[in-house]
Amino acid sequence: MRVVTLLALLLGLSLPLPAQTWRSIGPSGGDVRALAHDPQNPSRLYLGTTDGHIFSSPDAGDHWNLLGRISERSDAVVTAIVVDPRDSHRLYVAAWTQDPSAGGGIFLSEDGGRVWRPWGLAGEPVRALAQAPSDPDRLIAGTMTGVFGSRDAGRTWQRLSPESNKEIRNLDSLAVDPRQADIFYAGTFHLPWKTSDGGQTWIPVHTGMIDDSDVMSLLVDRANPDRIYASACSGIYRSDNGAALWQKIQGIPYTARRTHVITQDPARPQIVYAGTTEGLWKSSNAGAGWRRVTPANWIINAMVLPPSRPGRVVLGTEQLGVIVSDDGGEHFRQANGGFNHRRVAAVAFDAHRPGRILAMLAHAPEPIVVTDNAGQDWAPLGPGLTMRQSKRIFASPDGWWAAVQGGGLVQYDSKKGSWVRAGRVVGPAAALIAKPSPAVIGRQSPSLRSEGRALDLVVNDMAFAPTRWFAATEKGLLFSEDRGAHWQRMALGPLLDLPVSSVRVSSDAQSLWVVSLRGLVFSTDSGRTWTWHDLPLTSGGALRLELAPSALEPEGRTLVVTARNGLFISRDGGDSWQQTAAGLPALPVEDVTVMENLFVVSLRIGGLYSSADRGRTWTRLMGDLADGLFPAVAVDTTGAMILAASATDGLYVVESGSATQAAASPAAGR
């Protein structure tokens, strides 16, 4: 899940192993799916995410704390949070999983959100959950297959909608009449329904509503329960007679009609807010007129107005995290302190500035962010590079580089403050590498040899020595002797354009280690001659290679290779290989980083594992790191920090007296 930063490393020590304390270092923000407040303590808010995490705020949304995860699944989307008005420690959560076969369900916490257990409807994708204000033991759940109810606070559940009814399914929203628990409304992907007898009979209530309206949110007016609001893909509607007749509310443009949530001011019911895919809209006259009070590019997924803070509006957004207003929506500010829930796709250290880290974020307004103080503060670094363009990021001796998905490299130009295309292929093979048409090759070949063409090959990896840089590409190994400005091809023996997935180089540029389509190939004379080294057939093929430096052995003596079927280590320079020893499952490896005695591995399934004895024995890191997916782990050039980039939860830090101690005390919490 996170970044692991090990400060003040004293490598190789064998000292008593204290417990480790993990803390998040950002970047802050992320996607918010659900918000709720505690009726007994209205300043306490709860937040749910797209991967099953629950956060809490003690101060009406100013600061956030991670509480826990509702299940072991990392694809559980929290759709609703309900706090029992009789017991602030009792929380219910509705969820569905992004894997359709897993479904979802209802989950319960009895300690304020830290520990969760399944609480019914297992396997059901639950899209909505409501509690009856007049009878808190009554819970109503809307799933993809229908409406379910519980009369005993979730201990048992019964189907309320007829299984044979093909319309009362694909639920998106629910609302219960505050006076009578048997009266409630259900919004489906296709129009709303109502029951007045606890679900024994149902009637369609869509008169006045455009047919085929996906009812995403329902609101019963607390001051006048016969007044119902419904937000649909066709607009916002209001009924003043218990949903018998709907009137379309004008004023919100068609493009903003994906209204995910609608709510009203707790003290002034005539003030209504609508959170849409194009910002927040406000009505001061019960929906008769509307005005947008935020930028149009905000996507609002959830909203809560804490009764303890008049005028406060807390928004849960897509990408931007939590945004707060203290004057009824006139002005807004970000409130992501403690809510660090970014999806980190890649991470890199500055080669010359300790504490300077670059992170590549998915699904974020600023895809490339940087910190100069080991995560205390983050700032965007750009423009010129988007997440869709980015493949990998690298820290060269001269600054940041990134491989582009479609091919080529971009370099961060600090003088221009933007990312720019960089690198040209020169030399005899320039025309062939750059793939121009045959006519162009024949006409411009001399020019191509001297001036080159823009590098447009897909770059899989880079390695840097003081005198030479290397790039592993889909068309072979390239090298540069002018710090990335021009690139030439280096043949791997007789093979010129063999795809290369990984490259490492010694500090004097004499030794090279390459992973190619055909296997492992090494050189000890700057690429003039090469030798081939095979992994065991059980490996399924090599993917990436890392050196394991040590003051006690020559460089390149211990090699670590990720393969399709696990991790393999050679302790004799690649002559023989052994699949990793006790404690590490033979599963696909997402990434690996090594530093002296400490090895850290991210598995595609199963979180992080560490070894304090150079890969001989392994221990799984427990606590919050146990079940996360880490697209990348990295080590800085000084050996002072190890990073693990989370696919869901940003970057975390562990402070320790030594890396070896951190590897050997895995049971720490967050």
d(CA 474, CA 498): 7
Residue 278: inside a domain, yes or no? no
Q: What is the DSSP-derived secondary structure letter of residue 495?
A: B
* Exposure letters 196-227 (e unless 16+ CB within 10 A, then b): eebbeebeebbeebeeebbbbbbbbbeeebeb
Q: Which tens digits make up the pLDDT trace of 217-234? A: 999 998 899 999 998 888
Mean local confidence (pLDDT), 554-570: 89
d(CA 188, CA 186): 6
CATH number of domain containing 568: 2.130.10.10
Backbone dihedral angles phi then psi of residue 19, each to the nearest 5 degrees: -65, 145
Q: Which tens digits make up the pLDDT trace of 570-614? A: 999 999 999 867 788 888 888 998 887 888 888 888 688 888 888
Mean local confidence (pLDDT), 53-69: 95
pLDDT for position 126 = 97
Residues forming a β-bridge with 427: none
Q: Which tens digits make up the pLDDT trace of 340-352? A: 899 888 888 887 8
Residue 542: inside a domain, yes or no? yes
Q: Which domain holds residue 647?
A: 342-664
Contacts of 254 (CB under 8 A, 6+ apart): 235
What pLDDT band is residue 331 in, cutting at 50, 70 and 90? very high
- Mean pLDDT score across all residues of the chain: 86
The pair of structure tokens assigned to 58 is 């003690």
Q: Strands, E, within 166-232: which ranges?
A: 171-176, 184-188, 192-195, 203-204, 215-220, 228-232
Is the per-residue pLDDT at 441 higher than 50?
no
d(CA 614, CA 11): 12
H/E stretch holding 635 reads: strand 632-635
d(CA 655, CA 634): 17
Residue 453: inside a domain, yes or no? yes
Residue 29: inside a domain, yes or no? no
Q: Which tens digits make up the pLDDT trace of 454-507? A: 999 999 999 999 999 999 999 999 999 999 999 999 998 877 788 999 999 998
The pair of structure tokens assigned to 60 is 């009406």
Residue 459: inside a domain, yes or no? yes
The pair of structure tokens assigned to 495 is 């093979």
Residue 152: inside a domain, yes or no? no
Considering its fold, how many domains does the chain have in total?
1
pLDDT for position 621 = 77
Residue 230: inside a domain, yes or no? no
Distant-in-sequence contacts of 14-19, Cβ < 8 A, 24+ apart: 14/660, 15/657, 15/658, 15/661, 17/661, 17/664, 17/665, 18/656, 18/657, 18/661, 18/665, 19/665, 19/667, 19/668, 19/669
Residue 364: inside a domain, yes or no? yes
What pLDDT band is residue 548 in, cutting at 50, 70 and 90? confident
Is the per-residue pLDDT at 663 higher than 90?
no
